[in-house]
Amino acid sequence: MIVRDLKRLTLLVGPLVILLLLSASLWHSHNDYLRSHVSSLLGYNGPSSVARVHRKPVLTADKKHYEMFSASTPDGKFFDIRFGKDVFNPNMIPHPKFNDTWFIVGQLWNDPNVEIPDSHAHEVGCIAQFMNGVLMCIDYIQALPIEATSTDKCEGDMAYISFNVGPHDARVFMGPLSPFIIYGSNGGFTCFSQWVQDFRKLVDWEYELWTPTEFAVGTELARPPPFFQLEKNYFMFWDKDDEMHIHYDVYPKRGFSKLERDGKVGPNLAPKTTEHDEKCLKRYMPELPGSLESIHQATNSLKITLCKRADKDCEAHAGNTYIMTVIQHKSYYNYHSEYEPYVVLFQQRAPFELYAISKKPIWISGRKRHEGRKTDMMYVTSANWMDRGVNYHGYLDDVVVLGFGYEDRHSAGIDILAGDLLHDMGLCEEPEES
């Protein structure tokens, strides 16, 4: 009885203690105050808590993938991300003030078989830390205050999208100076568009000397024609001079333009590299047998220098620094989707031609095979530097965290050494094998 009453007391008092510690931390000058107090209270067991054995990527038994291992979990497998509700397609970026603390954002799952009063789509988020190997909210989950949009551009089979309310499939990421969010919502120039906003405007971002901000409000991202009624998965990238660009498509043809601060774009720059890029994509990406398979963009972009930050001779320059993103080969058989992620590098200076692509797709350690369907459906949605302060530009010895949804209902992530993520890349300029 005493044990049971103590458990009840803990459930009642515990959240109050956590909130008090969180409030106190806002006035405390030490960066690790929140981490050291709240995490120790709840059983912190995260990336920085214990030294791990580095596991290099290995070829899977069928020799079709390279298995990638977590840089921090004891078994090398991916970790769960828990919002307290069913949320999928997660993103995580470091908190600007506290170590080992992240903002996590994802799509709230709505049961299609249950009618509920509020059936709007929501991107939700919270502040999170690792507890017993799980990344979980340490404050209340909240819907991001993204304004709903309307459209009169939906026609034919896409007419139903006119009834959409709320944002979909967000990508949260760091730019060189500040964080952004790109999301899908009803559009003004086409039926369903991509929109961008300064992420700091949507959350309780800690006080800092604010940099000049682009996209203080949700801004629709146009693109040069031709475009589709349903536009998805745009990502921003910054060139060697930190000029913004927006990347629309990767396959069968790339599409990207210079992006202005008002959301307007210049002409499509991709035709300048079409012949080179199509040859590289054909060489390393699987041949598509029909309509049930496709290749498309998946994550935001990062800038990476191909040497180790810890090496005294490592210096970023035009010849060793590239834009990195993840694309995916999707198959849809027997009413079940599967996604195979590939890492792509392209040049950070015009004309931004492809530089390298993974020779084999990534197998996230912990992904399972099942009878009746091939494997877990794991869809990578975000790629960010794990550590606070790295922002957009990292090195081979920095850690990348991939966020992914699985089975369109749950969230998880895996932290991978960047050098491992780039294991066995195929260069576009490599001589053809005889």
| 158-171 residue pLDDT tens | 999 888 888 999 99
**What's the pLDDT at 329?**
97
**What's the pLDDT at 248?**
97
CA distances from 315 to 241, 307, 310 (A): 16, 8, 10
Cβ neighbours of residue 191 under 8 Å, at least 6 residues apart? 151, 153, 154, 155, 158, 161, 162, 229, 230
- Supply the pTM of this predicted model: 0.86
Chain centre distance of CA 80: 15
For residue 198, the surrounding DSSP H or E stretch is: strand 192-198
Residue-wise DSSP of 344-365? EEEESSTT--EEEEESS-EEET
pLDDT (tens digit per residue) in 54-99: 899 999 999 999 999 999 999 999 999 999 989 999 999 999 999 9
Which residues on neighbouring strands pair with residue 399, listed in sequence order? 417
**What's the pLDDT at 373?**
66
**What's the pLDDT at 262?**
86
Q: How far apart are CA 342 and CA 358, in angstroms?
A: 5
Instruction: Tell me the domain boundaries of the chain.
Output: 1-30, 31-427
31-427 folds as: Tachylectin-2; Chain A (2.115.10)
Prior bond of 252 cis (ω within 30°):
yes
**What's the pLDDT at 28?**
36
Q: How far apart are CA 384 and CA 175, in angstroms?
A: 10
Query: Which residue from 229, 173, 248, 263 is spatially nearest to 182, judged by alpha carbons?
Result: 173
**What's the pLDDT at 2?**
35
3-state helix, strand, coil in the chain (%, to 5): 15, 35, 50
- Say if CB 314 and CB 394 are below 8 A apart: no
**What's the pLDDT at 361?**
97
Whose tokens are 């079709």? That residue is 64
Q: Which amino acid is at 193?
A: S
| pLDDT lower than 70: segments of the chain | 1-52, 111-119, 207-212, 372-373, 431-434
**What's the pLDDT at 223?**
93
Query: Which residue from 250, 177, 188 is spatially nearest to 215, judged by alpha carbons?
Result: 177
Residue-wise DSSP of 88-132? EEEEEEE-SSSTT-EEEEEEEP--TTS--S-----EEEEEEEEET
**What's the pLDDT at 122?**
87
Q: How far apart are CA 408 and CA 400, in angstroms?
A: 23
Q: How far apart are CA 312 and CA 309, in angstroms?
A: 8
**What's the pLDDT at 296?**
95
